[in-house]
Chains A and B, each alone.
Chain A
Amino acid sequence: MWGLLPLAVVQVALFVVPLAIMFVYSFWTTRNYQIVPEWTLANYRAFFESWTYPGVLLRTLGMSVVITVLSLLMAYPLAYFIVRYTRRWQTVLLAAVILSFWTSGLLRAYAWMALLGHGGIINKGLRAMGLIEDPLPFLVYSPFAVVLVMTYFSLPFAVISIYASLEKMDWSLVGAASDLGASPWRAFWHVTLPQTMPGVVSAAVLTFVPLVGMFFVPLLVGSASSVVIAPLIANQMQAFQLGLGAALSFIVALVVMIALAASWRYLDLGRMER
């Protein structure tokens, strides 16, 4: 038990303390661009007063869910293919998936702009082929662009986590299912998917949690209709509205914690079943 002490210290210092400070700040008053220790509910009232903040938060969550689902839908077949149908290429393919971590996210976001932008490769190409006259309006500076680029950012996390559970899968169970009359699809549905569900859930958590805090991609490729919560919080902080910023942050943290708690049970259960 005492061996866990350093870990606990780090956790307290880097997670609990900042969160506690944020929590306290969210109940303090901001006056003359300074946070002063006067207790108030004004910051939370400000959140619920207009539709702006809840709306942005809901949109952020909605987009995060969509991106998470898309990532899972793409990651599962990819991970499945890597585990089942490759042998010598397995390491290479996995490395290719991880490779994208080696470059700065900002750089990759700009690279996407070079692809999607009005003067980007796709629009230019389509124009050269005479398929379009004007740049496709939805390709960039749109929710579509945000979802596309963020899905690309999330995919490696999802692939690795699902790969890990597929790799541990006991494939004789699939043989048993087909022996008992299950077609390949039904064997997948009744055996493979439930057996790898812990990996799917952890993939969902690993993609969803960072997505709620997505920051620069919506700023770069998004539009006014795809404003998300993180830049909004940054705005408050930069405008010395520390109290409101803290309240927003805490609400987001709460949402994330609820999502984690919901999946925790499943993750734990999945571990027990093995």
Chain B
Amino acid sequence: MSAGPGDAARPSAAIELRGVSKRFEQVVALDRVDLSVRKGEFFSLLGPSGCGKSTTLNLIGGFETATSGTLLIDGKPMGDTPAHLRPVNTVFQSYALFPHMSVIENVEFGLRMKGVPAPERRRAAAEMLHLVSLDGMEDRRPRQLSGGQRQRVALARALVNHPAVLLLDEPLGALDLKLRKHMQTELSRLQRKVGITFVYVTHDQEEALAMSDRIAVMDRGCVLQVGTPTEIYAEPADPFVMEFIGSPNVFRGRIEAVAGGGAEIAVDEIGRVRGRMIGDIRPGGQATVMVRPERVRLSATPPPASASQVTGRVAKVANLGFITHYFVRLSERQDALAYRLNDVDGGAEIRFDEGQQVHVWWDEGDARVFPADAGRSASASIRTRACETRERPG
């Protein structure tokens, strides 16, 4: 990697992290993360709490300094550039609106710091408030607003500066479910309208899937997979990614046979199941098989011989209106979960009752087989990088 002038800016990248690590005393919060966020995209950092997503955001915003590695915003290395000189703005989880200022004064603040003359910045702020549907709220104080309105003020206050990148730190976390769904649509619409790159931090997989162009799934300071929502959901490269997104059925067992991209796994007390191999699978080793509930089929008669199948007794049927959840007891220790869409026409769909014996099966291509130690390393070729090489802090 030369430091020539031509190398400095890969023009499509709004943000680039090259081998960025962050350590807090004994804890490694980020472990040599490589990430590239394209200009104009809605990019989500998704993961459980403590996975490093907020740390990543704080590094980009300039609120934390990386222990090592390089961060580029708009092709420029940020180094020790303090927060107030970075071309990014943030929507904070708590919104952090200034309580002693009116709504319009809050929105104007960034432009005021830039030295934009009062009439001009007032106009820009009013326009932005219009964009987030807060006309007429200009002179209110933040404490007079509802949670959703405060959220919009925070958005307007950041967007009015036309940042190269807008950072959003779980901005919908404090809202109730209905408002949250509404704001998801609203945020996507707004992002398309202003065309600003969004980097969105969330632990809510549904939120990330619904809004993002691309998602980076993170765990324990590592980026496990980067991809479109479809890729992340349909082609998880890592068992953690698969388990974190959706609620797949998980079987653990010994690898019995391997053939043509598929593997057969013996699971204690249940039987043999099959799936597509992800990573380095060899007979005799331990493996984890995952299959999503909507891929699991139930039938009263035996399935085709090619399919993976086990049998069980329907333990619980939960009808959620448009969908029915079947919990099938396979063994003392394990249930299988299957989703069936409730057929609008009625009749055609076969239903099962609690207590009924059923065949539980899926096509080989619908299940994924990961090596048991794949938590961290096996599918490194697909994943952004291997994480088990994490250093012990000295």
Interface residues of A (CB under 8 A from B): 170, 172-173, 175-184, 186-187, 190-191, 194-195, 273-274
Contact = CB atoms under 8 A, between A and B. Distances in A.
Given A177-B109, A181-B84, A274 B96 contact: no
Nearest to B83: A178
B184 interface: no
B152 to A, nearest CB: 15
A81 B143 CA distance: 29
Interface residues of B, number: 26
Nearest to A182: B113
Given A173-B96, A175-B63, A195-B99, A181 B110 contact: yes
A176 B84 contact: no
A175 B114 contact: no
B89 A180 contact: yes
Nearest to B110: A180
Contacts of B63: 175, 179
A151 B61 CA distance: 42
A195 B100 contact: yes
28 contacts: A170-B96, A172-B96, A173-B98, A175-B83, A175-B92, A176-B98, A177-B98, A177-B113, A178-B62, A178-B83, A179-B63, A179-B92, A180-B84, A180-B89, A180-B158, A180-B161, A181-B84, A181-B113, A181-B114, A182-B109, A182-B113, A186-B113, A187-B84, A190-B98, A190-B109, A195-B99, A273-B141, A273-B143
User: Which of A180, A183, A274 has most B Cβ within 10 Å?
Assistant: A180
User: Which of A175, A186, A194 has most B Cβ within 10 Å?
Assistant: A175
Contact of A179 (B90, B97, B99): B90
A52 B61 CA distance: 63
B22 interface: no
A175 B95 CA distance: 11
Contacts of A190: 98, 109
Contact of A180 (B62, B99, B143, B157): B157
Interface string B155-171: 00110010000000000
Contacts of A182: 84, 109, 113
Contacts, number: 66
A180 B94 contact: no
B82 interface: yes
Contacts of A181: 84-85, 110, 113-114, 161
A186 B157 CA distance: 17
B96 A176 contact: yes
Contacts of A179: 61-63, 83-84, 88-90, 92, 158
A176 B82 CA distance: 13
Contacts of A273: 99-100, 141, 143
A4 to B, nearest CB: 27
B90 A176 contact: yes
Instruction: Across the A-B interface, give the 7 residue pairs with the lowest CB-CB distance, nearest first.
Output: A176-B96, A181-B113, A180-B110, A178-B84, A178-B83, A172-B96, A194-B100
Contacts of B157: 180
B25 to A, nearest CB: 14
A172 to B, nearest CB: 4
A14 B72 CA distance: 68
Contacts of B143: 273
Contacts of B113: 177, 180-182, 186
A170 B98 CA distance: 10
A265 to B, nearest CB: 15
Interface string B67-96: 000000000000000111100111010101
A260 to B, nearest CB: 23
Contacts of B161: 180-181
A200 to B, nearest CB: 13
Contacts of B99: 173, 195, 273-274
A180 B85 CA distance: 9
Nearest to A193: B100
Contacts of B98: 173, 176-177, 190-191
A109 B336 CA distance: 83
A187 B83 CA distance: 12
A182 B113 CA distance: 6
Contacts of A191: 98
